[in-house]
Structure 1
Amino acid sequence: MRSVRDFTSGVGFFFQGFGWVAKNTRWWLFGLIPALIAFSVYVAALIYLGTNATELAEFLTPFADSWSWRETFRTLVGIVLFVAGLALAVITFAAITLVIGEPFYEKLSAAVDPLVEEHEQPWWRTLPRSIRDSLVTLMYVLMFTIPLFFLGFVPVVGQTVAPVLGAAVSGFFLTVELTTLALERRGFARKDRFRLLRANKASSLGFGVAVFLLFLVPFVAVIAMPAAVAGAALLVRTRLSPPPTPAPIP
C-alpha cells in the first residue's frame, strides 16, 4: 500500500508543477522557448524520416531485391523505422530539451526550489557534463527499450506486458533527467542521483510515468515541459530532501 501511495504522490508532483507554472505564467513562457526549439527540430527530423522511410528501407534491405513481395516487405520496414524514430523522439525529447535549455531551466528550477546554499556553477561549465550525463542515461534507456521494442511483436505479451514495462522504464529515466537540475544544485553527482531515485522508486516512477504518458501527445509535450521541470524540483524539495551526504561533483 505504501508503494501505491508513493506512486500516486509522484504523479501528484507533476500536477503540482502545472499548478506552479499556472500561477507563475512568466516562468511558463520562459520555459517554452527551448521546448519549442527542440520540438521544431524533432518535427523536421520526423517529416524527413517519414518522407524517406521507403528509400531508407530499400537501402537497408538489398537482400530483398529478388523477392516478389519486396514492396510490401519494405513498406513494413519503413513503417517500423518511422515508429522507432517516433518512440526515440518521445524518449529523448526531455533530455535534448534540457540540454538546449540548460540556462533557462536552471533559472526555472531555482525559482521553484530556492536554496540557502547551493553548488552553483556557470552554465557553460555544466553544459558538457549535462550532455555527457544525458548520453549515459540514453545508453541505459536503449539497453531496456530495444529489447522491449522487439518484445512488442510477441502476441499477447507484446500488447500487454511490453507497453507497461516500456512506460515504467521510460518514466523512470525521464525522472532521472528532469531531477538532474535540482539534484546538481545540491551537489549530487550522477551515481548519487541514480542511487537516490532508486531508493524512492515508487515516487520516481509515478512522476516519470505521468510525464511520459503526457509526452506521447506531440504538442502537449512542449506545453508540459516547464511544468515537468517545476514538478521535478518540487519532487526533489519535498520528497527527496533532506538528502544524504552526496559525493562531490568532479
Structure 2
Amino acid sequence: MSHPAQVPTPGKPGVLTGLGFLGRAVGIAFRSPKLLLLGAIPAVLTTLLMLGGLITLAYWVGDLATWLTPFADTWSDWLRQATRFVAGLAVVLGAVAVSVVAFTAITLVVGSPFYEHISETVEDGLGGVPDAEKASWGRMLWLGIRDSIVLVAVSILINLPLLFAGFIPVVGQTVIPVLVACVGGWILALEFSAVPFTRRGLTLKQRHHILRRHRGMVLGLGVPAYLLCAIPFVSILAMPIVFIAATLMAREALSRRP
C-alpha cells in the first residue's frame, strides 16, 4: 500500500482538518481491507463485553436513580418521577462517557500488535519514521496499559462532576452532553494517537502537550470518533478508521512541532 507523502496543511490546522483526516482514513481503510479487518477483530470482543455491561446498567438504572435521590421520596409524584428520570439519564450519560474511553483503552491494549502493524503500515506509506524507536512487544504492551489506566482514571474524575451537573434542568440535558463529548473526544484522540508518538519515544505527557497546540484539529477528529465509538457495532468499523485518522493527525501535529 502506498500513499503520497504527507506535507503540513497550509495555515493552522483546525476542526475541518481533523474531520478531513477521518475522510482520508475511510479511503485508506477501504483500499486496504486487511487493515480494516485487523482493526475490527479486537473491537468485536470488546464490543460484546461493553454491551453486556451497558445492558446490565440499563436494567438497574431505575434502582440506581432511586438510591441517588432519597431526598425526593416525600415529593409529589410527578416531581419525584421527573427528578429520578433526570438522575437516571445522568447515570447513563456518565456510564456511556466512561465506557467509550474504557472500550477504546481495552481494545487498543488487547489488539496492540494489530494496531501497531496498522500504524506502521500507514506511516511507511507516508514516508516512514526514520528515527523510529524499536521497542519490544512487551514494552509497548506495558506502556499501553499504563497510559490507558491514566486516561480512564482522568475520564472518571472529569465525568464525575459532569454526572452531577446533569441534574441541572435544561443545562444538564443540553450543555453537559456537549461537554461530555468534547472531553471524551479529547481523551480518545490521546488514546488513538499513542502508537505514532510512542514510536518516536514520546510520553503521554509530551503527546498531550503537542496536541494541545492544535485543539481544533484534535476535537475535529476526536468528537466524531467519540460519537461513533459510542454506538454499539458501529464502533467495530469505526475503531480501525479512527486509528488510521489519528495516525495522520499525529504526523500533522509532529510535523509542526517547534
Q: Same fold (TM over 0.5)?
A: yes
Q: Which residue of 2 aligns with 1:134?
A: 148
Per-residue CA distance 1:159-205 (angstroms, 9 max, x = gap):
33222222211111111101111111111111111100111211111
Q: Which residue of 2 aligns with 1:87?
A: 97
Identity of counterpart residues, as a percentage? 38
TM-score of the two chains, using structure 2 as the length reference: 0.81
Question: 1:100 offset after TM fit, Å?
Answer: 1.2
Question: 1:25 offset after TM fit, Å?
Answer: 0.5
Determine if contact 1:174/1:212 at 8 Å carries over to the other structure.
yes
1:230 is aligned, of 218, 221, 244, to 244
TM alignment of 1:109-188, pairs within 5 A: 109-114=119-124, 115-188=129-202
Cα 1:121–1:212 shift into 2, 3 Å: same
* 1:24 correspondence with 2:38: no
Q: Give the distance between the partners of 1:178 and 1:199, measured in 2 at CA.
A: 17
* 1:208 correspondence with 2:216: no
Q: Give the distance between the partners of 1:173 and 1:79, measured in 2 at CA.
A: 22
Q: Give the distance between the partners of 1:156 and 1:55, measured in 2 at CA.
A: 23
Question: 1:207 offset after TM fit, Å?
Answer: 1.0
Paired letter, 1:102:
S
* 1:106 correspondence with 2:120: no
TM alignment of 1:5-84, pairs within 5 A: 6-53=14-61, 81-84=91-94
Question: 1:223 offset after TM fit, Å?
Answer: 1.0
Per-residue CA distance 1:21-61 (angstroms, 9 max, x = gap):
01100110111111111101111222333334456667888
Gaps of 5+ in 2: 1-9
Determine if contact 2:39/2:114 at 8 Å carries over to the other structure.
yes
Cα 1:127–1:221 shift into 2, 3 Å: same
Q: Give the distance between the partners of 1:160 and 1:75, measured in 2 at CA.
A: 15
Paired letter, 1:188:
L
Determine if contact 2:181/2:223 at 8 Å carries over to the other structure.
yes
Cα 1:166–1:117 shift into 2, 3 Å: same
| RMSD, matched Cα | 2.9
DSSP 3-state at the match of 1:186: coil
Determine if contact 1:3/1:202 at 8 Å carries over to the other structure.
no
Determine if contact 1:42/1:89 at 8 Å carries over to the other structure.
yes
Q: Give the distance between the partners of 2:222 and 2:93, measured in 1 at CA.
A: 22
Cα 1:158–1:51 shift into 2, 3 Å: closer
Gaps of 5+ in 1: 245-250
Cα 1:61–1:204 shift into 2, 3 Å: closer
Cα 1:124–1:82 shift into 2, 3 Å: same
Determine if contact 1:4/1:202 at 8 Å carries over to the other structure.
no
Paired letter, 1:200:
H
Q: Which residue of 2 aligns with 1:247?
A: none
TM-score of the two chains, using structure 1 as the length reference: 0.83
Q: Give the distance between the partners of 1:12 and 1:152, measured in 2 at CA.
A: 32
